[in-house]
Structures are given as C-alpha cells and as structure tokens.
Structure 1
Amino acid sequence: MIPEADPLPEPADGQEMLEVDGAHGLLTHTRVAADELEAVLGPLDRWEFAPRVSGPDEMAALLTRLNQYLESHPERPGEDSMAAVEWPSRDVGMTAVFRAFGFVPEFVMIGRLRGTDLVAEPGNVRVRRATPEDSDEVYALQMVETRFDAAVSGAVERDNTEELLRAQLAESLKLDEPMIWVAEYEGQVVGMHRGEEPSEPQQAWLATRITATPVAHLICQAVKEEYRGLGVGTSLANHVHTELDAMGIGAAVGYHAMFNPVSMPFWHRVGWRPYWNRWVRTPAV
C-alpha cells in the first residue's frame, strides 16, 4: 500500500541535496514561529530529510553526510531543534541504522483501509457530528489529547496553544458537516474524534504515503479519563469508519506517538496498521 518513491525535486530555497555513493537526500530547513499552531508539534528549528538509498550501508553513509552538513552549517542547530526522517514501518532493515545515528521512532503513521471489519461495541454510546454548541466540550477534549501527546512525545504545549486551538476549532464548527464527531454517554459529551478538512494539497501529500484514494487524514480522538474503558472510543471509531466507508474514502490515516500506551493497542485493535515511522533526533545535532 506504500507508493513507489518519486524522484526528488531540485532543491528550492531552504533546501539542500546531500549526496554520497549510492544515495542522496533532500534536506529541508524550516523555522516555525512560536505563535503558530504548528509549534505544538515539536521544536521550532526543523531539519526534514527525505532519503533515496539502495540499502542500509548507503543510508549510514548518507546520515554521516547529514551529520557533517549540520555540524558545519552557519545556522548550526541548537537545543530547540530536530532532525526528522520518515521511513516505511515494515522496512526493519533500517531500524538499526537510524538508532545508531541517535534517531527515535517518535511518531507512526497508521492507516485503515475501506471495508476493514468493525469490532464489537457496547451500544450505549451515541455518536454524531459536532455542532457549534459543542465547542466547549470539543475544545476541552482536544486539550486532553494535546497534553497527553506532550507527555509521551516531543509535542510541546506552548503559551498560546489553547488560544490557537480554540480559534481553529471554531472555524471547523462553522461548517455544515465538520470533520468532528462527538460521543455522548448518558446524555453527556465525553469523547471526540477529529479529522482534517480535505484539500488538494493535502491529497497530493497523502498520495506519497498510501496508494488508496481518496484519503481522510484524521487528527485525534480523545475520551474523558473517567469514561475510558466503557466502549466510548470504540463507538467513536466505528461510527467514523462507517461514515468514511459510505463516503467512498479509500483509506483513513493519522499519526500517534509511538510511546503512547493508549493509542498503540487501541488503534491496532480497531483495524489500523503502521505504514510510516517518523524518526526524530532532538536536538538535530
């Protein structure tokens, strides 16, 4: 289900092509402003590397070249920096190489294909699309997920994270059918599932990650702690899966922290499988 890798483009501003015998990779350097919502995902100084290699030895040589480049760069990465490489999860031959160079599989992109069997659920949870009246509950549940992610990954809750998330959610909830669902248990909203509104750039990027089309990019699911273990999460997932299948969505994908003890067993139980590991080194050097 992973597409063949396209040839890397010619470097643009902020990019550099690094080469060794049998391998090359495109390095993209970006700085995220602390007042952007993107800043919650990790360090502000980011070095993203896209390798094309013929084997583990060539990957090791290319990562050695990457280290040399970063250490000698005029803007040598400091403490608030990261280097990141995404690589297919099942190519375990590269695992030892990434570990040897100090990379940790911080996030994993998981996916569920259309028609994957649903799992049993208790039946006492009502799931529906969110409305503007649910904004406070949706926001609170989003912050539950954001803070949990920060505890198990390199995600960072910043001073303005709450303000930015509330504004983003308010825009989504203005839509007639937002990509946000809520779960009610005994009349109370206790869970939320959220996806990203589809766009052409998003679909173009997802086409490099999975061959199914079209693809839904799901962002998060959260259940209030006191209601976990009652089947709320399973009911949410089943409802969203059923809706997406009926819409003709070929696959749903999303990320979770590799070291999240809740996400790993839950998503695999409801039919999701790993596709890409996001290997991260913090700081970048």
Structure 2
Amino acid sequence: MPQVQTAESVLAAHRDRLRPVDRMIPEADALPEPGEGDELLEVDGAQGLLTHTRVDADALEAVLGPLDRWELTPRVSGPDEMAALLTRWQQCMRSHPERPGADSMAAVEWPSRDVAMTRVLRAFGFVPEFVMIGRVKGTGLVPESSRVHVRRATPEDSEAVFELQMVETRFDAAVSGAVERATTEALLREEITASFKRDEPLIWVAEYEGGIVGMHRGEDPSEPQQAWLATKIVATPVAHLVCQAVKEGYRGLGIGTSLANHVHAELDAMGIGASVGYHAMFNPISTPFWHRHGWRPYWNRWMRTPAV
C-alpha cells in the first residue's frame, strides 16, 4: 500500500495545481483540526475534512436543501487523487453509524475553472447545483432603461422587499435543490426586518410606473460573519450580494439591468473591491444575466442527493 503523503506536501501540491487555474482565488489554508462530528479523510496525495451536520428544519438555513448534510473540504494534488478521496468519502458514509438516509446531501466546493475535475465529480454522481460568481470593481456597465428609478430601500419598503425575496426563493426552489419549508416565510421576514435596523443596509428597490417591482439585497462586508469571503476571492473588501429579484410580468423590461448598474456603481464608489453571490447553476435567467453584467464563475458547489 502506498504511503500517505504528509499534510504539508499535499497542501503544497494542491496550491501548485490551482495557482495557474485561477489567480483570483486565494491560496488554500491548511485544513483545520477536526472538531466534534468532523473526520479527517486521507489517501495518497489527498486529504479532506468531512463535516457532518443536521440542520434544524425550522432554521432559515433549511431552505438550502436536505437537512442531513455531509460536506467535504478537499486538498488534492490532481484528478486521480480526488477520485481516490471521493471513494474514501463514500466508504466512510456507507459505514458511518449515522449513515445518510433519503433526506441527505453530500457537497463539495471546487474552483469553477478547474475543468479537469468536472469528469471526476460527475463520475461520482455530483451535480454543480450552485455557482459562486463575482464581479471586480470597475467592470463596465451595460445600457439601461431610463424608465426605471432605483434607490436605497427604507424601512417602509420592508414588505415589498420581503415579497420580492419570496419570489426569488420560490424560483430557486423550482430550478435547484432549495426547499421552501413551513417556516421560510416567517424567518425571511424576520431577517429582512433585522436588516433594516442596521445603518444604511445594502438594499435597493426599483420603481417602475409608480410601483416597486424589483429589489437587490446584500450584506455589509464589515459584519464578522462575512469573514469567509476572504477564502473565495483575492480582492478586498468583498460584498456578499444575497438576492436580486424582479416581479413576474415585469421581466425583460430592463428593470434588472437598472438595478444591477445602480448597485455596481454605488459599490464601486464605496471602494468595494469585488462583489460575490451564489445562484442556481440551472437558473435560466441568472446565468446569462449576470455574465452579461461582467460577473464570472469562481466556485462550483457540487452536490449529490441523497448523500449515498
């Protein structure tokens, strides 16, 4: 049996492999020590931290998919080593005392531009369910309609913002593994209400013919919970844009473009180095829209449901 390489040599090979693939992605850190419920998986040329969590069905996070979640953070030197690590991961889940059931998922994020891994992940039944896209400061704007008025939202717009958030949530559920649950509406309403209590929240609305028909919502880069963004893109500071939605019946009128242009210009003026966000890979609206506005893929979130 070949000797398993050291964590240091695997990390060095992992970095060497990905550095030329996408220079806008930060170099990977060493894997953290496994915590409670975690497990370190090792094969020759690869290591991965397996995290197993069960999400409360009444939590807002439950909208993102199955409640029993098995997530792998890999460090690998190449496609063959990734295949060996995925095999080890699958064996681990099959023999685990809490073996995944029907309401489960396996997930791994990997740089979008490393296309050599696509065949490997697909061979193990993974689908690129979501993609993290990003736009760097100074990217050009596209022509827009003069009939749309975009402004920062106020607390008085809270209900309109909530209704548009539900439009986006239900659309995501139709084109991805997202799930609208019994508590989703109440939790999203609570989250949006809390957002409006912050100073100058990153929320914009689009008005067309006298009514609010679109909105764009982001999260403040200074919030402590946004620290994970530093592991995704080298530009700083980074704004996490959560949602853009336009009411059905008003799409195709330039409302989304006016929203995006306004938000992009305002974030550039604020000195935001890059904006990132996730959308469902199979969303037929998001992919062409955001790419036309200068966003591009950085990370694919590969998922398999059920996990085994």
For residue 170 of structure 1, what is the amino acid of its counterpart?
Answer: T
Kindly provide the CA deviation profile for residues 174-210 of structure 1, in whole angstroms up to 9, marking residues without a partner as x: 2341111100001110000011233454442111100
Equivalences for 1:1-285 in 2 at 5 Å? 1-285=24-308
Question: Which structure 1 residue ranges, 5 or more long, are not aligned?
Answer: none
CA distance in 2, matches of 1:174, 1:211: 30
Say which SS state the counterpart of residue 182 (structure 2) adopts: coil
Distance (whole Å) between structure 2 residues aligned to residue 87 and residue 219 of structure 1: 20
- TM-score scaled by structure 2? 0.91
8 Å contact 1:203–1:214 — kept in the other structure?
no
SS of the aligned residue for 2:188 comes to helix
The percent identity for this pair of structures is 80
Q: Which runs of 4+ in 1 moved over 2 A?
A: 197-204
Contact 1:141 1:222 in 2 (8 A): yes
Distance 1:160 1:152 in 2: 20
Corresponding letter in the other structure for 2:45: G
Structure with the greater relative contact order (CA < 8 A, sep ≥ 6): 1 or 2? Answer: 1
> Is the 2:221–2:237 Cα contact (8 Å) retained in structure 1?
no
Structure 1 length as normaliser, TM-score? 0.98
Tell me if structure 1 keeps the 8 A contact 2:217–2:242. Answer: yes
- Mapped contact 1:213–1:251 kept (Cα < 8 A): yes
Deviation at 1:123, TM superposition (A): 1.5
Q: Which amino acid aligns with 2:49?
A: L
RMSD: 0.9
Matched residue type, 1:114: K
SS at match of 1:19: strand
> Which consecutive residues of structure 2, in runs of 5 or more, have no partner in the other structure?
1-23
